[in-house]
Amino acid sequence: MPHYPHSYLFVGPTQTVDIAGPHIQVLENASGAVLTSTTAFSDEQKTDLLKSGPVRCAAVDREFRYLITSGEDKILKVWQLDGLKLLSERELPKKPTLVGFTADAQTILVSDKFGDVFSYPFTYVPLTVKQQKDALSSHENPSGGQLILGHASPLNAFLLTPDEKYIITADRDEHVRVSWYPKGYNIEMYCMGHLKFVSAIHIPTFDSSTLISGGGDPVLKIWDWMTGTVKHEIEVLETAVPFIAVRTLKRKRGSDDGEAPEGGKFRRKKGSGKKQEADKELMEAGEDENVNEASGETKPEKVLVIRRIQSVNSDSGPHIVFSAVGTTAIFAFPFKADVTADDIKSFDFARPVLDFSVVDGKTIVASLDGEWVSEEGGMAEAKDNNTVKFLKISGDQLVESTDSLTTLVLSLNSSLLIPATAEDVKKLDLYSELISMPKYGSDGDVEGEGDGLPPSNTALPIGAPELSSSETAKGRKGKGKIELSKKELGRIKTKQAVLAKTQEMEVDGETKKEEDEEPETKRARSEVDGMTGA
């Protein structure tokens, strides 16, 4: 019988939060026993839970007291882990791409597919008057969220710097932006250089001045994020490609996975909705690659999408660990100035890695797709049926850790598996990023405005050095430097101006206080230009 995979695993000092499909379980680390679970909810509670669909975004606070989740219904839920008590629910304006807590857990941050980041207070107070859409945000906010910043394309990742004075964001149009927090209208720096989407960013725990970013490019970029300069690049494509097990068909122009803009619709060809569903069904490694050429269909292809980047300490020094969507391996390399592709080590699980996290800075917890079907049409030929494994780095090698929370691992791989139907598992759409992230031909932006180029369904080959189809990349060609297009600059400047004016009016009585809280490291742009040009 099929089971829900472990979509998210948050391992704390004494407890673990396991999210599988729409369900949440809180476990005791020492015994592996279930402390509380949504599977034990009343029928009424279960009905409400299942209406939300699978959990798409989740995060726990630093003290491991609270959990936030959001599903298909765009409802942000705040849970108290002790007893798994639902504290509040609030409606989000658009489908979120990422959620997170600030260090004190008093503020919740949410990014969405329209490129905005909103903040919400931990304690929810329902609005008595409907909040009106302002000139800056892409949409109305039904729960009174405070707009922090906005991009011109879907946001894939964000993080707060360790001192929480800056927020770093990455989008589908190759942009990595460093902005002040919480006054996001002040842009400190752009880290420009990616030619494809950016899907993962990370600040190493052992070097807060460094940012590592990756996505669809064949390299991971290592930045000095304050100056926007690339310190190093490491080739990862050739290492990752042999482990890409899940392939996908090209997404046709106009069949974006995002939501339609306010007051408008995406331009789609007749029948494109059915075609997109067919594409998703074919996005499995078990499908026959030899698609009938006479029908005009293309073959499923490998796509590189970096899923997650994290820091790990080991007996051989600090390492960076990363994964990619649909690959059967996790990868690691030493954190050093002259690192090369030859330094990358891998651990092959023989089935796709869904996600991973790091416990106590040393142990890697990997969640695997136990329902995956191989190219031959059978279940994956792994050494065992375990869908959760613990790894560590020993002597620069990734090895399985057999002495870490043994009872917990045993429970996660047996008694804690939650039954599901084949249809339930299919609805999880575990590899949707392989379709939604890449830009094919003349994809328009999230507002559906198009770019004026002739239609094209030709995708760039995996890791190709050619420029992507976005306006940003097109604006770079032949200029010898990285720059934003006039259209993008106009949008960003307009949003900055409106947001600055709005926030100044809101905090007019606290201007002096806010000035005192501005980042001490803020410099004039001319100073930064002088540094980068030196």
DSSP codes, 448-460: ----SSPP--PPP
Q: Kindly report, residue by residue over 47-59, the tens digit of the pLDDT.
A: 999 999 999 999 9
Residue 454 is predicted with a pLDDT of 34
| Backbone angle region of 510, left / alpha / beta, with phi > 0 → left and psi within -120 to 50 → alpha | alpha
pLDDT category of residue 402 using cuts at 50, 70 and 90: confident
Q: Over 70: is that where the pLDDT of 498 sits? A: no
Q: Is the pLDDT of residue 469 over 60?
A: no
Mean pLDDT of the chain: 82
Angle at 50 between CA 45 and CA 51, to 5 degrees: 100
The β-bridge relationship of strands 96-101 and 198-202 is unpaired
**Whether the predicted pLDDT of 135 surpasses 70:** no
Residue 289 is predicted with a pLDDT of 42
DSSP E strands, 107-209: 107-112, 116-121, 146-150, 155-160, 166-171, 176-180, 187-190, 198-202
Residue 492: pLDDT above 70? no
Average pLDDT over residues 366-395: 82
Q: What pLDDT score was predicted for residue 142?
A: 83
Query: Which residues have CB under 8 Å from 274's CB, separation 6+?
Result: none
**Which residue shows structure tokens 């052992």?**
206
Among 115-124, 230-239, 417-426, 517-526, the minimum mean pLDDT is found in 517-526
* 195-215 mean pLDDT: 98
Distance CA 235, CA 340 (A): 7
Report which of 139, 174, 137, 140 is spatially closest to residue 155, judged by C-alpha positions.
174
Among candidates 323, 380, 392, which has minimal Cα distance to 350? 380
User: Buried (b) or exposed (e) across 286-295, using 16+ Cβ within 10 A?
Assistant: ebeeeeeeee
At 374 the pLDDT is: 74
Residue 19's nearest CA partner among 364, 412, 433 is 412
3-state secondary structure 333-350: EECCCCCCHHHCEEEECC
Strand order in the sheet with 23-28: 8-11, 15-20, 23-28, 34-37
- SS3 assignment, position 185: coil
CA pair distance 96, 140, nearest whole angstrom: 14
Domain edges within the chain = 1-106+116-140, 151-226+458-534, 236-259+275-285+296-404
The residues, ordered by sequence, that sit 6+ positions from 306 with a Cβ below 8 Å of its Cβ are: 199, 200, 214, 215, 216, 220, 236, 322, 323, 324, 325
Give the confidence band of 262 by pLDDT, cuts at 50, 70, 90: very low
User: CA 440, CA 100: separation in Å to the nearest integer?
Assistant: 30
Q: State yes or no: pLDDT of 449 exceeds 70.
A: no
DSSP 207: -
Confidence of residue 501 (pLDDT cuts 50, 70, 90): low
User: What pLDDT score was predicted for residue 461?
Assistant: 42
Evaluate if residue 235 carries a pLDDT over 90. Answer: yes
- Per-residue CA distances from 379 to 115, 249, 374, 442 (Å): 38, 22, 6, 38
What 8-state DSSP symbol labels residue 479? Answer: T
Estimate the share of the chain in helix, then strand, then coil, as percent rounded to the nearest 5.
20, 30, 50
Residue with tokens 């559906």: 448
pLDDT score of 442 more than 90: no
| pLDDT in the model for residue 483 | 55
* This prediction's pTM: 0.81
Mean pLDDT along residues 327-355: 97
Does the structure show a pLDDT above 60 at 267?
A: no
CATH 2.130.10.10 fits 1-106+116-140, yes or no: yes
Q: Of 380, 341, 375, which Cα lies nearest the Cα of 463?
A: 341
| Stretch 494-518: mean pLDDT | 57
Segment 157-180, tens digit of pLDDT: 999 999 999 999 999 999 999 999
Burial of 1 (0-12, 13-18, 19+ CB in 10 A): exposed
Q: What is the mean pLDDT of residues 13-37?
A: 97
Cβ atoms < 10 Å from Cβ of 485? 18
pLDDT at 56: 97
Cβ atoms of 174 and 198 closer than 8 Å: yes
pLDDT of residue 58: 99
The mean pLDDT value for 15-34 works out to: 97
Establish whether the linkage from the previous residue to 154 is cis, with ω within 30° of 0.
no
- DSSP class of residue 213 equals E
Q: Is 265 within 8 Å of 251 (Cβ atoms)?
A: no
Find out whether 354 and 365 touch, Cβ atoms under 8 Å.
no
Q: Judge whether 247 and 302 are in contact, CB under 8 Å.
A: yes
Range with lowest mean pLDDT among 200-209, 283-292, 410-419:
283-292
